């Protein structure tokens, strides 16, 4: 089927090349991704053994488009006449048995289409019939499918199975133990080796862990290819579909971060308004305020995904600070997935517009904001008390005076500080107490109750109860799992934060030496 996206209807001007924004693109409409296309093509199509490949990236970054453009577009089988590409959306499948039956059926249809004489291949026909037999037990379906694929491979065909939206495997494949092993075997065993390609928002290890943690070897045969936002070169090529030459794309990059879907949404508005101005930047600017509603919808969906994966807090801490719970590994994952970029010497969201959206999200986290303020002030109090007792090098004095009691805690904080320094460099905190948690703060104060007890105004048992509750609520709050915290505990958390804030206000307002 010929790509007609560039063709104008009679009596009309040039068609809007972005009119179908949101749908997969292929052929002339597919721009960029040269390096990723090369990697996937070489691994799946150009080696004696097909390699399993996972295409990973945020929503609407172009994962399905890349896979469709490479394997499913009309010209693909002209370039690779022995390729038998099968496309399945995992979300619409009823389980692994349905996947295998559909695979056999589609492969047979492709063979019939490409080589009609194959209908006389009795051995292949019998293998197909056995694989598609109704009522066969699961293990028999698996064995017969493997035999069919073995015969197909011996006849020099290359089967490619694209499992789109593979995130859904964590639900669709959960009820059938051994599903991931069956898929692994189809790709890994040289007798029937197929090119297995997945597209997903999450990494395969995370998907498998959600569905069947025992299938830990599945992801090991894949190479992960991550899709992130377009660089200026690819963004210029995308913009050239609207106006050629497009001129500078700086403003388009600033508004969209080079995200191909968001850029296409904006260029769709530009093209729908009539022939784009030259340079294109002027036409883009006309649609910059307010931006199309699709931007907000996309950000909302992306935040929901981050929240579901427990990564919302991580990106908020990296982008907005303070970095209390996020680890260097969290930041690297977000960077690898294209949700963060490095600008100058700081991590920022992939676009300035999304960064502003995250700022509004952060303002709504009332419990967390209260605790961040309290936590920072308690750390200041502890540092002040230890400095007054031991001097500027209070850590050494504390170790000497209370070694066995506090050394493990200080060692843990020191290790976290060193790890952050290795990853963030100059952006890392040098303050040891920045790596403490609520229970750590209480233990440090309890080790010198003669210093802090008279400031806090109550006995150890009183404050131990409060810090225990603060510690219990803090972790679910950090990881966006407040559903495990009861309404009573949430209420007590607010009360204890307010109480601590009042005590700290009193301490700060007291005359020196009081």
Let me know whether 167 and 70 are in one domain.
yes
* Cis before 146 (ω within 30): no
Cβ proximity of 276 and 241 under 8 Å: no
Mean pLDDT of the chain: 87
Is 23 within the bounds of a domain?
A: no
Residues 455 and 496 in one domain: yes
- Which residues, in sequence order, are CB contacts of 487 under 8 Å at separation 6+? none
Full DSSP string of 77-129 = HHHSTTEEEEEEEGGG--SHHHHHHHHHHHHHHHHHHH-GGGGG-HHHHHHHH
* Shared-domain flag, residues 173 and 45: yes
Distance in angstroms (rounded) separating the CA atoms of residues 469 and 367? 14
Residues 335, 246: contact at Cβ < 8 Å? Answer: no
Residue 3 has pLDDT above 50, yes or no: no
Q: Which residue has the higher pLDDT, 476 or 324?
A: 476
12 within some domain: no
Is 29 contained in some domain?
no
Q: What's the CATH number where 138 sits? A: 3.40.50.300
Among candidate residues 342, 364, 386, the one where a domain is terminated: 364
Shared domain check, 426 and 374: yes
Q: Is the peptide bond before 245 cis (omega within 30 degrees of 0)?
A: yes
Residues whose CB is less than 8 angstroms from the CB of residue 69 and which lie 6 or more positions away in sequence, other chains included:
25, 26, 27, 30, 37, 76
401 in the same domain as 387? yes
> pTM, whole model, 2 decimals?
0.71
Tens digit of pLDDT for each residue in 221-265? Answer: 999 999 999 999 999 999 999 888 888 899 999 999 999 999 999
For residues 170 and 459, give the distance between their C-alpha atoms in angstroms, rounded to a whole number. 50
Are 61 and 91 contained in the same domain? yes
Specify which of 233-242, 300-309, 417-426 reaches the highest per-range mean pLDDT: 233-242
Domain shared by 286 and 304, yes or no: no
* 199 and 87 belong to one structural domain: yes
**pLDDT above 70 covers what percent of the chain?**
90
Report if residue 8 sits inside a domain: no
Do 332 and 198 sit in the same domain of this protein? no
For position 481, what pLDDT does the model report? 55
- Which candidate, 106, 54, 109, 45, places its Cα nearest to that of 81? 45
Of 294, 313, 343, the residue at which a domain comes to its end is 294
Query: Both 300 and 354 in a single domain?
Result: yes
Residues 251, 378 share a domain:
no
Q: Which domain holds residue 313?
A: 295-364
Q: Domain count of the chain?
A: 4
The count of residues in the chain is 514
Q: What's the whole-number mean pLDDT along residues 448-457?
A: 92
Of 174, 191, 226, which residue is a domain's last?
226
User: Is 275 among the domain residues?
Assistant: yes
11 lies in a domain? no
Task: Tell whether 187 is covered by a domain.
Answer: yes
My answer on whether 306 and 438 are in the same domain is no
What are the distances in angstroms from CA 97 to CA 133, 142, 194? 11, 8, 17
Domain membership flag for residue 514: no
pLDDT at 51: 96
The phi and psi torsions of 289 (rounded to 5 degrees) equal -145, 115
Rg for the chain (alpha carbons), in Å? 29
């Amino acid at each position: 089927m010929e790509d007609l996206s560039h063709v104008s209807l009679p009596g009309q001007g040039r068609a809007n090349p972005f009119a179908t924004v949101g749908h997969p693109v292929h052929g002339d409409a597919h721009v960029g991704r040269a390096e990723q296309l090369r990697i996937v093509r070489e691994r799946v199509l150009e080696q004696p053994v097909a390699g399993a490949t996972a295409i990973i990236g945020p929503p609407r970054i172009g994962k399905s488009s890349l896979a469709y453009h490479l394997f499913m577009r009309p010209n693909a089988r002209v370039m690779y006449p022995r390729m038998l590409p099968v496309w399945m959306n995992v979300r619409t499948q009823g389980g692994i048995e349905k996947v295998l039956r559909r695979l056999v059926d589609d492969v047979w249809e492709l063979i019939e289409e490409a080589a009609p004489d194959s209908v006389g291949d009795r051995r292949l026909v019998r293998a197909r019939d056995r694989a598609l037999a109704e009522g066969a037990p699961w293990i028999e379906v698996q064995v017969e499918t493997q035999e069919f694929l073995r015969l197909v491979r011996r006849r020099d065909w290359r089967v490619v199975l694209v499992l789109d939206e593979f995130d859904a495997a964590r639900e669709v494949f959960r009820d059938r133990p051994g599903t991931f092993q069956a898929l692994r075997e189809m790709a890994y065993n040289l007798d029937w080796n197929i090119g297995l390609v997945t597209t997903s928002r999450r990494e395969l290890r995370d998907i498998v862990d959600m569905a069947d943690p025992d299938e830990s070897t599945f992801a090991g045969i894949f190479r992960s290819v991550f899709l992130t936002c377009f660089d200026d070169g690819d963004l210029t090529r995308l913009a050239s579909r609207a106006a050629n030459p497009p001129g500078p794309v700086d403003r388009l990059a600033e508004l969209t971060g080079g995200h191909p879907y968001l850029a296409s949404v904006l260029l769709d508005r530009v093209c729908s308004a009539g022939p784009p101005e030259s340079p294109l930047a002027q036409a883009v600017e006309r649609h910059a305020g307010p931006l199309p509603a699709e931007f907000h919808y996309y950000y909302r969906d992306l935040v929901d995904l981050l929240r579901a994966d427990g990564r919302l807090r991580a990106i908020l801490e990296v982008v907005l600070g303070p970095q209390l719970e996020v680890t260097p590994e969290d930041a690297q994952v977000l960077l690898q997935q294209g949700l963060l970029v490095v600008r100058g010497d700081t991590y920022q969201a992939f676009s300035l517009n999304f960064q502003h959206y995250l700022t509004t999200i952060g303002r709504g986290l009332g419990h967390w904001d209260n605790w961040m303020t309290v936590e920072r002030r308690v750390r200041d109090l502890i540092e002040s008390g230890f400095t007054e007792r031991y001097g500027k090098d209070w850590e050494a004095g504390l170790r000497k005076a209370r070694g066995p009691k506090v050394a493990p805690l200080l060692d843990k904080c020191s290790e976290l500080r060193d790890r952050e320094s290795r990853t963030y460099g100059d952006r890392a905190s040098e303050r040891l107490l920045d790596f403490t948690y609520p229970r750590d703060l209480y233990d440090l104060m309890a080790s010198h109750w003669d210093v802090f007890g008279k400031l806090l105004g109550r006995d150890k048992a009183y404050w131990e109860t409060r810090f225990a509750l603060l510690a219990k609520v803090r972790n679910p709050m950090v990881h966006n799992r407040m559903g495990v915290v009861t309404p009573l505990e949430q209420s007590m958390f607010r009360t204890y934060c307010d109480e601590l804030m009042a005590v700290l206000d009193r301490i700060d307002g007291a005359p020196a030496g009081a």
